[in-house]
Structure 1
Amino acid sequence: MPMWSLCAQFCSRVKMCKSINFIGSNKTCQINYAEPGEYYGELVESLGNSFAATSTFPKELAGTCQGHDCKLNEVCMPNGTTYYCFPWTQPFAKRNFTQIFVACPGNQQSILTTWKNPSTGMNYDIENIKNPCTNMNNQHIRSTMIDKWGVLPIDQVKVELFKNGELTVQIYFDGHGSTNSDWFSKDRLRSNSFNDLTQSSITNLFSMDGHPNYGRHLFISKRSGGCNADYGWLVVIDISDATSRYCNFDRLPGKAYPYILYGADHHVARFNYDYEVDLADKMIISISMV
C-alpha cells in the first residue's frame, strides 16, 4: 500500500480526522480536523502535498474499523475480525515520539527480558515521570504499547542514550511493518548520531538478541576478533542468559549488571578499551506514528 494510502487509512480510523495532507518528499502525514469550507484554523498549511478529505475515502479503507464507535479522543485499531479503541494522546495526535521503554543500568534486571516480557508491562505515562530511573527505584519502565506493536501505525523507532543527564546518542529506525524485536536491525536503520554507522557499514551483529552466550544484547558489532579486537557501536551487557563473561568489557570491576556501552566521540570503538567507550546512565526507546 502506498504511503499516502496508509496516511488516509489511519485518518479513516480517527473520528477527529477530517482530511489529510501527505508530503511525499519526506513521507509526512498531516492530520487535519476540518475539510475545506469548514473552520480554516483546523487545516494545516503545507506545500507540495497530496490533499484528501475523508468524505472522499472509500468506506472499506477503514477495514474492521468501518462504523466504529470509538470516542473522539480515541483511535480505532483493527484486531482480527474486530477492533479496539486506543487513547488518542497529545503526543500521538501531533505525531511526536512517545516514550515506551526506559532502561536503568545497575538494577540486576535484564533489559532484554523486561522488553520482551508482557507481564512486566506498565501503563505509566513515561514522559511525565521526572527522572524515571531515580523516582521509580531504578526499575526499568515498560509500556504495554510494546505488546500492541502489531496493530499500531508505527513510523519510526528511536533509541536514545544519556550520560550525566545529557543526551549523547540517537538512533532512528524504520518501524513500518516491523515487530517489537526486528525493528532493531541494520536494514531498518534510518539515521543516527554516530559518524561512521550507516546501512552500508560492515557489521557482524546488529540485533536485539545480539550474542546471548555472552549476554550482549541490543548489540551493534562491527567485528569480533578476540577481546581486544571486538569493535562496535553499542552493546547492552545484560544479566539474563550469559554463560560466559569472556572479555574485560563483559565484567567491568565494581559495575553492577546490566550496563550500556557505546562508542565515545560518536565513532566505532573497541569495547575492551575503556578510553574508547562510554557508559550510558539511561536508555529510552520511543516510537512515532503515521
Structure 2
Amino acid sequence: MLGKRRVQQYLWDVVFTMVCLLIRWGNMAATQYSCVPGNVIIGQRLEGCTFTILYMMGPKQCAKDCFSRPSCMSFNYHTNLTCELNRCSDNDQPGSLSHHEGYSYSSIDTWTGVSGNCTRSTCSAGQKCFELTSTTACIYTECMDSAVLGVELPMEQRVVGESFPAVCETGYEARGEGANITCMGNGRWAISSSYCHRIYSSGWMLLARFGSGNGESVYNTWTEAGRDDNSNENIPNECKDVNTSNTCTRHFRSGLVDDWTALNPTEAKFSLYIAGIEEVYVTFNATDTDSITWFAQERILSTSFTDLKTNSTSNFFSISGANTYRRFYINKSYGGCNNDQGWIRVIDGTGVCFYENAVAEPSFVFSRNNQSGVAGIDSLTADVLAIFVKV
C-alpha cells in the first residue's frame, strides 16, 4: 500500500509540474514560476557544475534529492524527467546561465518544505540524507574531493561505485599498462595501480619527496619495498610538490622505485629545496643502475657544487652513508666533529657530533657557496629533498 502511494505521489508531482511548464512555455525567455515550492527559471541551464545526473524523476523529487545533499547548490531539470545536480549555483557564477530548450534551472536555497526530517546541515559533503522511520541516515553517494594521483576527473563521474580509466592531468605522465579510478563507499577515490606521476621541467619525473623534521627516516622510506604513496588516496597532492607544505606531514615514495630496473632511467637527480627554490642539485648517469647504485661519484653528470667532480677527493659518497644517522652522504674528509668537511648529508637520526644533535630529524644539510664546507659551520639546511629520474 505504501509503495502504491509513493507511485501516485510521484505521478502527481510529474503531472503537476508539467502542467505548470505548459502554462508558461509560451514565453521561452528566462521566466520564473512558482507552481512548485521554489523559484524555477524556465528555459535556462547552469553548465559546468553538474556532479550527478538522475533519471526518471519528477522536479519536486529532484529538488528534494538536491536538498538532502549538502554538496548540491542547484539543479537543472529537463522535461524528459532528467535531473542534473550542481555543485554550484548562479549566485556563485553570475552570468553562467544559458538558454536551453526543455530545461529549467533552480537554486536550492529558494526551496522549502521538501526535505522532511533532513536539513542542509545534516550530512557532510558527498553524503545524502535518507529519511528512516524515526531518524535519518547519512550515506556517501558521490566523491566530492579531488581525484588522486593527478588523474583528470570528469565533473559528472562522481557516483559511488562508478569506475573509469584513469587519464592523467597536465603536469603528470602515465606509467604502466593502465589503471582504473573508482569512487568508493567512503566518499574517497581509489586507483587500481600507481599510474600518473608528477613531471617537472625538462622531463624530470618525481620519484620521492622527503620533508624535513617529520620524524620519518629517509633511508628507510627510500628502501621500503612495496611502499607506493603514489596510489595511496590518503596522501595529499602537496606531498608530491617540492614546495614546503604544512599539509604534508610524511614522506612521499613512488612505487616506481621498486621498478627501477624495468623503468630503466637514463638520468637521476638529487635536489634540495628551501621554500620551493632548488638550492643544490647533483645529476647522475642512471643507465644500468638500481635504486641504490645510481648515487655514485663516478656517475656525476652535473652539479651546483663547483668543486665536486668525478675525481674529487672524498671519503664517503653513497645512499647508505657512513652509519644509520648519515645517509645520502657526500663527504670530503674527517677532521673531528669541529672540522668534518663535505657537501651533503641527510641526518637521519641522533649522531655523535654537535651538528647532528641540535636538529629535528630528518635534516637535509648542505654546504653553502656551492662548494664543500665545514659541517655545522659552513652549512645550510633544506626543507625538502626530492629525487627525480628521466626515462
TM-score range normalised by the length of the shorter chain: 0.5 to 0.7
Runs of 4+ in structure 1 off by over 3 angstroms are 73-76, 85-92, 124-133
1:266 aligns with 2:370: yes
Q: Of 357, 360, 364, which residue of structure 2 is paired with 1:256?
A: 360
Q: Residues 130-279 of structure 1: matches in 2 within 5 Å?
A: 130=241, 134=245, 136-213=247-324, 215-239=325-349, 245-252=351-358, 255-273=359-377, 276-279=378-381
Structure 2 CA distance for aligned equivalents of residues 87 and 119 of structure 1: 15
Sort the Cα spacing of 1:127 and 1:153 in 2 relative to 1 into closer, same or farther, 3 A.
farther
Please say if residues 223 and 232 of structure 1, whose CA atoms lie closer than 8 Å, have aligned partners that are also in contact: yes
Amino acid at match of 1:271: A
1:39 corresponds in structure 2 to none
Shift of 1:130: 4.9
Please say if residues 132 and 138 of structure 1, whose CA atoms lie closer than 8 Å, have aligned partners that are also in contact: no
More helix by share: 1
Structure 2 CA distance for aligned equivalents of residues 123 and 132 of structure 1: 17
Structure 1 CA distance for aligned equivalents of residues 196 and 208 of structure 2: 19
Structure 1 CA distance for aligned equivalents of residues 204 and 239 of structure 2: 13
Structure 1 CA distance for aligned equivalents of residues 217 and 198 of structure 2: 31
Shift of 1:256: 1.2
Please say if residues 263 and 269 of structure 1, whose CA atoms lie closer than 8 Å, have aligned partners that are also in contact: yes
1:110 corresponds in structure 2 to 217
Sort the Cα spacing of 1:261 and 1:169 in 2 relative to 1 into closer, same or farther, 3 A.
same
- TM, length-normalised to structure 2: 0.47
Shift of 1:127: 8.6
Shift of 1:167: 1.2
Q: What is the RMSD of the two structures over their aligned residues, measured on CA atoms?
A: 2.8
Shift of 1:160: 1.1
Sort the Cα spacing of 1:177 and 1:126 in 2 relative to 1 into closer, same or farther, 3 A.
farther
Structure 1: segments with no counterpart, 5+ residues: 1-72, 77-84
Q: Deviations over 1:126-177 (max 9, x none)?
A: 6994566526432100000100001112100011111132211111011100
Amino acid at match of 1:246: V
Sort the Cα spacing of 1:86 and 1:121 in 2 relative to 1 into closer, same or farther, 3 A.
closer
Give the match's secondary structure for 2:261: helix
Sort the Cα spacing of 1:181 and 1:169 in 2 relative to 1 into closer, same or farther, 3 A.
same
Please say if residues 163 and 281 of structure 1, whose CA atoms lie closer than 8 Å, have aligned partners that are also in contact: yes
Structure 2 CA distance for aligned equivalents of residues 189 and 246 of structure 1: 30
Structure 1 CA distance for aligned equivalents of residues 389 and 260 of structure 2: 10
Shift of 1:223: 0.3
- TM, length-normalised to structure 1: 0.62
Is 158-167 or 192-201 further displaced after alignment? 158-167
Please say if residues 347 and 364 of structure 2, whose CA atoms lie closer than 8 Å, have aligned partners that are also in contact: yes
Please say if residues 133 and 139 of structure 1, whose CA atoms lie closer than 8 Å, have aligned partners that are also in contact: no
Amino acid at match of 1:97: W
Structure 2 CA distance for aligned equivalents of residues 127 and 157 of structure 1: 22
Structure 2 CA distance for aligned equivalents of residues 127 and 286 of structure 1: 16
Shift of 1:119: 4.0
Aligned length: 199
Structure 2: segments with no counterpart, 5+ residues: 1-173, 178-192
Structure 2 CA distance for aligned equivalents of residues 250 and 176 of structure 1: 34
Structure 1 CA distance for aligned equivalents of residues 239 and 216 of structure 2: 23
Structure 2 CA distance for aligned equivalents of residues 173 and 226 of structure 1: 30
1:286 aligns with 2:355: no
Percent identity between matched residues is 26
Amino acid at match of 2:310: Q
Larger-Rg structure: 2
Amino acid at match of 2:340: D
Please say if residues 99 and 126 of structure 1, whose CA atoms lie closer than 8 Å, have aligned partners that are also in contact: no
Shift of 1:224: 1.1
- By relative contact order (CA 8 Å, sep 6+), the higher-ranking structure is 1
Shift of 1:75: 6.1
Structure 1 CA distance for aligned equivalents of residues 252 and 216 of structure 2: 11
Structure 2 CA distance for aligned equivalents of residues 90 and 251 of structure 1: 34
Please say if residues 100 and 142 of structure 1, whose CA atoms lie closer than 8 Å, have aligned partners that are also in contact: yes
Give the match's secondary structure for 2:343: strand
